[in-house]
Amino acid sequence: MGSNFVLHDEELHPNEILSFEGFTSPWYKQLLFLVLGVCTFGVLFLVAKWSLRVRTALRLSRCPLKQAKFVRVTGFPLQQRLLEYRCGRYFYVESADKFLPVPDVPKAFNTQLQASATRMAVSKDPRVLEEHDWQLGDRQQHYGSNEMAIPVKSVAALIADEMWHPFYVFQYFSIIIWVAGDQYYTYAVCILVITWFSIITSAVETHQNMKRLADIAHFSCMVEVLRGGSFKLMPSQTLVPGDIIAVVPGTLPADCVLLNGECIVDENMLTGESVPVRKVPYNPSVEGSGYCPDKHSSCTLYGGTQVAQARAPGTSYSGLGLSPSASTGGCALAMVARTRFYSAKGQLLRSILYPRDGSESFISDSLKFIGVMLVACIGIFIWAAVVLASIGAEPTRIVVRFFDMITIAVPPALPACLTIATVFSIGRLRKIGIYVTGPHTITLAGQLDVVCFDKTAQSLAAAVPGATHVLYAKGSPEMIKSLVAASSLPPDFDRLLAEYTREGLRVLALARGVVVPGSLPDGALSSYSQQQLEAAVQLELTGLAVLANPLRPDTAGAIQALQKAQIRTAMVTGDHVRTAVSVAHQCNILPEGRPVLLMDAAPPGQPVDACPVSLSVLYPDGSVNASVTRTAVLPQVMMGELECAVTGKGFDALLAPPFDAELLQPMLRRGTVFARMSPDNKRDLMELLGSGLQTAAAPGCPKLGLHVGFCGDGANDCGALKAAHVGVSLCEAEASVAAPMTSRQQSITSMISVVAEGRCALLATYQIFQFIVGYAMAQAFATNLMYTHGLQMGNYQYLIQDLFYITILAALMGYTKPRKELARAKPVGRVLSLPLILSLLLQIAVVIVFQLIALRAMRRIPWYKSTIGTPDLRTYKAPETTVIYLINLAQFIILGVVFNKGYPHRQPLWTNVGMLVAMILQVMFLIYSLFSVDAFTTKVQTMVGRGPPDGLPTAFRAGLLLIMGVEVPVVPLMGSKDQPSIDVFSWMIAAKMEDFVEAAGYPLENHKVITRDGYILNMYRIPHGKYRNTGKGNKPVVLLQHGVTLSSNSFVLLNANESMAYILADAGFDVWMSNTRGNTYSRGHVLLNQWGQRYWRFSIDELALVDLPAQIDYALKTTGASKLAYVGHSQGCTLAYMLLSEKEAYNDKISVVVHVGPVGFIEYIRAPFLKAQPIVKSDQWLKNAPLGEFIAHRDIAPFVVPFCEYNHTFNEWCMQQMNGMFYGPSVNVPTADFILIARTWPSTVASRNLEHWAQMATDGKLRLQKYSYGNDCTNLLLGANFPRSFHESCNMAVYGKETPPEYDLGKITAPQAFFLGSIDIMSTPEDVAEQQRRLKPNVVVAQYMFDRLAHMDFVWDRNAQYKKELVELLYRFSPGTF
């Protein structure tokens, strides 16, 4: 059986191979394939070369595997019954009729290893190790030669492969079209030269990289191998798993497990760690029966690492054929475990040779969008083709023009341009000492959600003072404590250990043991293993070595910068949990003053069905409460009231099946410190935070699906560095195969640089894509316009546009550096996202409009007559081509500015000096071409002159410049004022409370409240003032409740002396601001996903009767107050009515209710939007809305803000529409504040909230009633996790009657005050009168009417006069609050 070509699927990973298919090659299919290839002029040969499916369908036929000449797995050469694929080997098993992979370690290896280790412990004669039959010949056949040979193709062969890449074939096709169809010789030659320059440089670079990798992979030496009862000097290529070799100083040729002796190994090549590592012999009783080279690193010698010292004192192998130095010196012995590409070095090389592609979604999204644009261009061409046919163009010319359109719509330069930003980022990182071996991780770094840091062993030594032997030991306090005599432990051992670790000190325990002469066999001290010595010698505690490990000065700042960028930080270390917690406090990973929940392994003997971990709370003063229950502390962890720290043993217990999701979720989502973590624990944590465990035990284990970064020292962090999406190894090596990135800075600030470059490169890549596609569409539409006149752009016109404008701009766009400070928001995750696509489509639309405007303006020239070219489309010089050519040049410059977005991830355009200079030169060339009429413009650029009959006069040229000038502000319509650029997706995320409050200089606390039906609400607190009443302590508590479409930020939007919350804080109040479920800041739930309909099944009832009392109780409990003052705005007043009339006990918890613009009965509202509800029957269509979320800031802002922001006219119009439609006209809120308001408004509203209001307006009756579930009781939605009264599906089931009950305002006893505006169309005098009529007469304590004040002036007016009266009223009711 043999194979003469490869069947290869690039997407299949070796671990994912599940099936094999056999094929044979019939002669008649070969002949048919040859004939069809010739008939299609070789096109079929190219398609078959690119497509495995086409090649298989045309040339092969299926057959049983035993008869196969070709096997389709992913396409590897077949030699006899052995397949090799991506450096792995597979053997055909006839009984199973399938190919099975050769395992990394032979199946019988563990049995052989344990037998050999046991025999070696009994007899020091290594010949006994060969008594176990381990089938040398079979392993030689399966594993082959121990040689990592990476084939390196010659440059010529690589060129031959590269030149037939689809991208370059498309280039050839384009060149043929340009030459054959239009005689564009100069342009075609330039593109051909660039194409072949790219092919040759790519081939040379690939050859150099592969040669460099092959040099790293290749290694051979002579090894002393035990064969036939003696050691023989043999080439390392002959080694197979199971061989016994003598370990001598030098480079190891394979992964081996140490059987006796000790070794000092330099693993710098593998891990990047320059500190030598001590290796000890394998001990089955300690290591266990299941040896794994990756897990049992302490006894594994990895191939490619350097053995600095190898010795086995007390042993001698004379007469066994060893070299004199080895036989007399007592060399160490090891058993070969893994060879070739199965070794650790080989696996790392395989990961470099066959990396996972991290940009598949970007490439696929780009191709999809380009495909859509191509279809659009073809649609436009159909229009042009009809016109061409009408002027007599031959069908062949129309076909050629069709292909020419394809070459324009699909830019040949796109693939090359998309890599520019990443290349520049890699170069910038290299300059600051960060080396990148995995370029795909650059853009992944821009998407990081969480970054884990490693914060920064036990050994024995024997001394011989005279005739008495003394054994010294050092190690972790926990381990030493378990080894020493109990009598040597001082009573305050645990207290001192806790005290030192709480201060962030690193503590090592020291012990000693005296070896009494004769108590150990002769030579035991030199031949015993560490475990044997620990068991044989009684150790006594000597003391504690306390080491200070101070933080670098830049550590805390780096952590804070990541946190401000909305990147979660965590510490993953091997240190003691108390030390880790203390250091985490010092570096700001943990906030000061907040208790920490400790998760450790459950004590032995605990019942199986009990909690798998031990839970305790560590308080800031160092005290520990171990008597806590999971039901009490887990909600506190999820709310942020408790931080979470996990030990390695606790982590193992949590991952032991069956998985306890209730414990795993808090650990994964809120865990901040992971202490005493082994290398395997670190790797598993990275996988859990990311895409999930990659083990057989993974099913059922939760995962977060985050983008994870890990920053470690590269020594024992290799697994975590590779498992994370972005691994940064801090080591002295220039580059390490242990991680995709290596930093020589030895500082975690490297992570700041990596994230900044990642965000910068990702954003730049998107922008270059937008720029290239925008240019292609602009040029494609312009070309189609010319076709409708029977015209064609000139050779040098295309050359100047493509080479001297587009190529230069696209190349320089990626040169813009990242901003020094990380922004809060990440770049969008995919190119097919609404903001990017919408902005690109809008730019294309504007470009097309201005091309049409320019042609339309040309008709005003007195002597102008529309040009109709010849049917052969050979007319290049015409006023139409000149105008479109010039307007295109201007549009390319403008698009270069628009899509060179700086804020928030890149520096401003002006910092990119190269691009700035290029743009200035391009503008100068454009002005020269526009106004100059000389030989270069008329003959080279084929432009018309100034005079009749076809010239463009100077006045028109000046007008054309004016059109270009008008397009400058119109194209970047959706940009910010600071920089004209597309700023859509910066509006997708509403401004955070911290953006306002911290900027104003006031303290801000965030408190989370979990309601009884599982919703997680964010409350914000300003505990004291900035200018007055700045001291902490008991203060009167006031709760501010926002209205519909608003959130807590409506009270902090303005400046210090203008926003309600700031004024009250400076007046001496403890200010709390609530957020109702589902709004911008309260979108969490313990079980439900905010994107599901079930999350949004709540009406105003739940806001009033569940959310509001939960927040009132929380504020009172936290402050210790007995009452609070309540200030509600708009719907916030309605919530108070509902709560106080339904739950009368809350009347005693509120000192006064201040109604600011109160809304009670929708019948009296005069706002057009709400007034129209009965007419449009919105209660019906809202009830049937497919989504529960009706209005969201992220949906409105991308459309409203960019349009309204650009100039004052648009801004004023938007302000008028918003006020007129919803809240009424305002004469107090300045138009300039609209953009500030739009950063927060509208906040999300549930459809059922609006439906509830609509229900109360359907029949003209004055009702303030509960939500109507209807009268269809056939489908009860009884949720086990929700209160029965709010989640059943019909009125009879919920209320016991067919109509929902009304709220009785007569039950309210808390004092009520009213603040009204004379032009408020939401809170009308009739409405307020009806509210007060239903209240008890004695509860209304005050009413204020303010002239010319509208509904939203209460929160948006910078100078609203009501604020003074509000403070005085609250003072009046504040006494007795405590």
Q: Compute the residue count for the chain.
A: 1378
Count Cβ atoms below 10 Å from residue 599 Cβ, excluding itself: 28
Residue the block writes with tokens 């790797």: 683
Let me know: does 809 contact 892? Beta carbons within 8 Å.
yes
What's the N-to-C CA distance of the chain in angstroms?
92
Task: Give how far Cα 104 sits from Cα of 255, 293, 347, 852, Å.
Answer: 11, 10, 10, 67
Residue the block writes with tokens 């070796």: 14
Quick one: which of 1200, 375, 420, 365 has its CA closest to 837? 365
Cα–Cα distance measured from residue 343 to residue 304, given in angstroms and rounded to the nearest whole number? 9
Say whether 1130 is catalytic.
Answer: yes
Identify the active-site residue in 614, 1042, 1351, 1353: 1351
Q: Which amino acid type is present at position 189?
A: V
Cα–Cα distance measured from residue 118 to residue 107, given in angstroms and rounded to the nearest whole number? 19
Using only the alpha carbons of the chain, give its radius of gyration. Answer: 38
Instruction: Show the tokens assigned to 931.
Output: 């106004």
Residue the block writes with tokens 């990642």: 758
CA 813 from centre of chain: 23
Cα–Cα distance measured from residue 993 to residue 1244, given in angstroms and rounded to the nearest whole number? 16
Residue the block writes with tokens 């919408």: 838
Cα–Cα distance measured from residue 141 to residue 156, given in angstroms and rounded to the nearest whole number? 34
Helix (H) or strand (E) holding 1114: helix 1108-1119
Quick one: which of 205, 214, 153, 152 has its CA closest to 341? 214
Identify the active-site residue in 717, 1320, 1327, 1357: 1320
State the helix-helix crossing angle for 749-787 and 420-431, rounded to 10 degrees: 160
DSSP 807: I
Q: 464: buried, middle or exposed (CB in 10 Å: 19+, 13-18, 0-12)?
A: exposed
Let me know: does 878 contact 808? Beta carbons within 8 Å.
no
The β-bridge partners of 99 are 92
109 HSE (CA, 13 A, CB side): 22
CA 368 from centre of chain: 22
CA-angle at 475, arms to 469 and 479, nearest 5°: 100
Handedness of CA 204, 207, 213, 215 (dihedral sign): negative
Task: Give how far Cα 527 sits from Cα of 319, 328, 1160, Å.
Answer: 21, 16, 89
Count Cβ atoms below 10 Å from residue 605 Cβ, excluding itself: 5
DSSP 339: -
Collapsing DSSP to helix, strand or coil, 576 comes out as: coil
Cα–Cα distance measured from residue 1090 to residue 1103, given in angstroms and rounded to the nearest whole number? 16
Identify the active-site residue in 1130, 1243, 1268, 1323: 1130
Q: 666: buried, middle or exposed (CB in 10 Å: 19+, 13-18, 0-12)?
A: buried
φ, ψ of residue 993 to 5 degrees: the values are -60, -40
Collapsing DSSP to helix, strand or coil, 136 comes out as: helix
Collapsing DSSP to helix, strand or coil, 945 comes out as: coil
Collapsing DSSP to helix, strand or coil, 651 comes out as: helix
Say whether 1353 is catalytic.
Answer: no
Cα–Cα distance measured from residue 714 to residue 1348, given in angstroms and rounded to the nearest whole number? 68
DSSP string, 1066-1134: HTT-EEEE---TTSTT--EESS--TTSGGGG---HHHIIIIIHHHHHHHHHHHHT-S-EEEEEETHHHH
Cα–Cα distance measured from residue 1279 to residue 945, given in angstroms and rounded to the nearest whole number? 79
Say whether 1351 is catalytic.
Answer: yes
Helix (H) or strand (E) holding 351: helix 344-353
Q: Catalytic positions, please?
A: 1130, 1320, 1351
